Chain A
Amino acid sequence: MKRAGFSIRWLPILLLLPQLSIILIFFYWPAAHAVRSSFFLQDPFGFGETFVGLKNYTSLLKSSAYLRSAQFTVIFTLMVTALSLSLALLLAVKADKVIKGAKTYRTFLMWVYAVAPPVAGVIGLVLFDQSWGPLKEFFGLFGWDFRLGVDYFDTAFAMVVISVWKQLPVNFIFFLSGLQSIPKSVREAALIDNRSASGRFWDVTFPLLAPTAFFLLIINITYALFDTFGIIDTVVKGEPSNNPMTLVYRVYVDGFRGNDLGGSSAQSVVLMVLVLALTVFQFRMVERRIHYT
């Protein structure tokens, strides 16, 4: 077989150059800059900087606000991931069974996908609004005095609900296509082998969905950690101080509102390490994963 290749040595490098320079300028350079700034204390007025070693990191660990955010981030990520995955799976299983009007039903479930996170946040604000939000009134029926932006738990609750709602369609689409790629005859064989529908689901359907579910797990964790920024920003806008926020949002708040560039850089570095760990974990799992044919 003839090897396909470039006859001019420098051509491939030239073709890669635009992509490489974008990555370099917009990803590596800021990342390197953040790592560097995390070891310095910046003058609030932009006049010079002082090397402080690991002090930015140690003060992070001592900051109760930071630890509170970290704790909230863990709980928030767990809740958003677990809820959006399980609800999407439930909806996908139901939608998969629908024969009549299946298309309408699916479109109906998917349109949220097209909503941008800040818009989702605004819609959430309207629904939970203090003076005329229908959800607030609904909670009021049960004696729950819902106070968005005032009560820590209520605000966290709204953030989780909006984030889950926004992420549902993606998970739904993947789960549904995962379900539909399971051969019909395999399900029929299970129908003959096992009379219990839930037994069939956990023994046959779910294991065959596992690769999809794992992929979505990573996507959802990343989403909850990073992509919920727009939603959180919309919900807490005005007074971030008393409200729950994720670590990513705190980077922004401390760096740009609090003008603590060194501390905020240290926070970014912590997040970078977290992403790195997640990526390594994902690659490990993907390598180990069984490939079905």
Chain B
Amino acid sequence: MAQVTLNTLRKVYPNGFEAVKPASFTIEKGEFVVLVGPSGCGKSTMLRMIAGLEDITQGDLQIGDRIVNDVDPADRDIAMVFQNYALYPHMTVRKNIGYGLKNRKIAKDVIDQKVTDAANLLNLNDYLDRKPSQLSGGQRQRVAMGRAIVRDPSLFLFDEPLSNLDAKLRNQMRIEIKALQRRLGVTSVYVTHDQVEAMTMADRIIVMNGGEIEQIGTPAQVYHSPASTFVASFMGAPPMNLLDALVAENAAMIGGQTIAQFAGHGPVTLGIRPEDILPDPNGDFEINVTLIEELGAHRILHATWAGQTIMVSVAKDVTAETGTMHVAIKSDALSFFDAQTGRRL
């Protein structure tokens, strides 16, 4: 278990592309941090710099009490789980899991014991003598996990470990990984482009976009108080509604109707989560529902409001029809963003 500190860590690839702009943050001991963002935003690059698989262009990386910029990956006391599992195809599951220990001059019986323990933990006992090609995707994923946990590293790194699995297995493994991390208490950095994974697994989320960190916060903070319109639209499915509004005389207005009190002047972007718009026959606002998406537990209403499209999420027992509908708004759940920069106001 170790604290990890990034101090203005930056990555410029040899072709001159700046994949990670100077980033600084600290990951606490035992914390599970998820790096999330659209593909190509620099998440893997960041993780690979932490792993030592990619050179650090600038800045310092500290794991535990060492600056590890120039330390080999094998000496950083980390373990990594790759997207395509990266198992050694010619080794049995047992050898795959034990390989990292074998190279660390650990006695054979100790290795055997640790491999057995890890296999128990991951339900892999029956497969120890198989080759990776004889395993299912989920089992391979478990072997990759096993290879990471036997080492007792001070830091786990995950690069989209679940994206090759089908949806059902992904949900199951998500919970398993999270539970395992809780149990072992190992500091973890987990990269994903899937905001659901980020929300459900993270102690803290780091949202990245275009090589830059947009926001660092708990899942609740990121969800309820997004730091930018990017975060607002990236986190949550369906995403937060972003509407053009006008502030005048301490009130934010859409289509001439006051939505909420707000100090300032001029155009702003107003963010409302789809579930914070409530169908209410006595509501002040009128929307025009054009399409209803049935999702079982709830429904998504696609609608227009004063010429702007919005989405409204309603519970399954709420009757909804296309056409005019009255709604109320949870005014304490609103977010305001600068209309130009998109930063939270």
Contact = CB atoms under 8 A, between A and B. Distances in A.
B133 A189 contact: no
B82 A195 contact: no
B89 A195 contact: no
Given A183-B86, A192-B52, 11 more contacts: A185-B83, A186-B87, A186-B89, A188-B82, A191-B74, A192-B51, A193-B99, A194-B100, A195-B103, A207-B90, A208-B89
A193 B103 contact: yes
25 contacts: A183-B84, A183-B86, A185-B83, A186-B86, A186-B87, A188-B73, A189-B80, A189-B88, A189-B147, A190-B88, A191-B74, A192-B51, A192-B52, A192-B74, A192-B79, A192-B80, A193-B99, A193-B100, A194-B74, A194-B99, A195-B74, A195-B75, A207-B90, A291-B133, A293-B89
Interface in A177-219: 183, 185-186, 188-196, 199, 203-204, 207-208, 210
Nearest to B144: A189
Interface in A148-202: 183, 185-186, 188-196, 199
Interface string A80-104: 0000000000000000000100000
Interface in B57-75: 72-75
Nearest to A206: B90
Interface string B37-58: 0000000000000011100000
A16 interface: no
B254 interface: no
A6 interface: no
A208 B89 CA distance: 8
A114 B120 CA distance: 57
B181 to A, nearest CB: 18
A210 B100 CA distance: 22
A290 interface: yes
B156 to A, nearest CB: 12
A282 to B, nearest CB: 20
B131 interface: yes
B78 interface: yes
A283 interface: no
Nearest to A99: B14
Contacts of A207: 90
A27 interface: no
A204 B88 contact: yes
A292 interface: yes
Contacts of A208: 89-90
Contacts of A196: 103
Nearest to B95: A203
Residue from B52, B73, B83, B131 with most neighbouring chain A CB atoms (10 Å): B73
Contacts of B14: 99
Contacts of B147: 189, 193
Interface of B: 14, 51-53, 72-75, 78-80, 82-84, 86-90, 99-100, 103, 131, 133, 147
B151 to A, nearest CB: 8
Contact of B84 (A185, A290, A292): A185
A196 B99 CA distance: 13
A78 B80 CA distance: 43
B89 A185 contact: no
Interface string A260-291: 00000000000000000000000000000011
Interface in A5-53: none
A14 B103 CA distance: 62
Contacts of B73: 188, 191-192
Contacts of B99: 190, 193-194, 203
Nearest to B148: A192
A208 B83 CA distance: 20
A291 B74 CA distance: 29
B103 A290 contact: no
A164 B217 CA distance: 63
A192 B100 contact: yes
Contacts of A189: 80, 82, 86-88, 147
Contacts of B87: 186, 189
A188 B103 contact: no
A291 B90 CA distance: 9
Nearest to B83: A185
B153 to A, nearest CB: 9
Nearest to A291: B133
A187 B146 CA distance: 18
Given A188-B53, A291-B133, A293-B133, A193 B74 contact: yes
A210 B270 CA distance: 62
A292 B103 contact: no
Nearest to B14: A99
Given A188-B82, A191-B73, A193-B74, A199 B103 contact: yes
Contacts of B72: 191, 195
B90 A290 contact: yes
Contacts of A194: 74, 99-100, 103
A210 B207 CA distance: 43
Contact of B53 (A191, A193, A292): A191
Contacts of B83: 185
Contacts of A199: 103
